[in-house]
Chains A and B, each alone.
Chain A
């Protein structure tokens, strides 16, 4: 089993809709969590950290469920510009592990 797993998608979602996707991690010793966004042929960029209590940044909400070992990202009122690949990142000890990403297509 991979240490960090994501549904590769693609998720095809109409503009304005709400979309959510999860990322599961296998090692309970994982210590910190992030979501990165990567546009086609570009570098990954930090979208948001994920805190234990859950956190929100505008239309984006990230949550952590340690008991079930997953993190989630919810995007409300999706925009065309949200189309990208969303990478889940898990830190454990001295390791930074990236998921392979979930592709999101927002449809006009």
Chain B
């Protein structure tokens, strides 16, 4: 059973460049989440989708961040332009049920982003 698949595993880019992170959720899961993790702030929810529709994007830091889910098997998180403070590990997670209650999250391996 394939888990959540994220790419790339590592990304190093220069300030000002566009960064695109990709995620393939577990087949049959209805909800998809993007998280960012840093030592200082821990795991922060950026945005989540139910049935491909964005439900809560209040965690998206600013207009430089955008996320899409064009179909049930693919999502992207884009940062344009990137800044050094965006350096973090970005996790994608999916869960079986629509909505968030009671259904555990399955995380991908994460993308470690470094912006210089």
Which residues of A pack against B, CB within 8 Å?
A: 31-32, 34, 36, 42-46, 49, 87, 91, 94-101
Contacts and interface: CB of A to CB of B under 8 A. Distances in A.
Interface of B: 33, 35, 41-43, 45, 48, 55-56, 91, 99-102, 104-110
B45 A43 contact: no
Chain A residues touching B, majority SS:
strand
A45 B104 CA distance: 9
B109 A94 contact: no
A21 B71 CA distance: 41
Contact of B107 (A45, A97, A99): A45
A91 B42 contact: no
The 5 closest A-B pairs by CB, nearest first: A100-B42, A43-B107, A98-B43, A46-B104, A32-B102
5 contacts: A44-B105, A49-B102, A94-B55, A98-B45, A100-B42
A96 B91 contact: no
B55 A46 contact: no
Contacts of B43: 44, 87, 98, 100
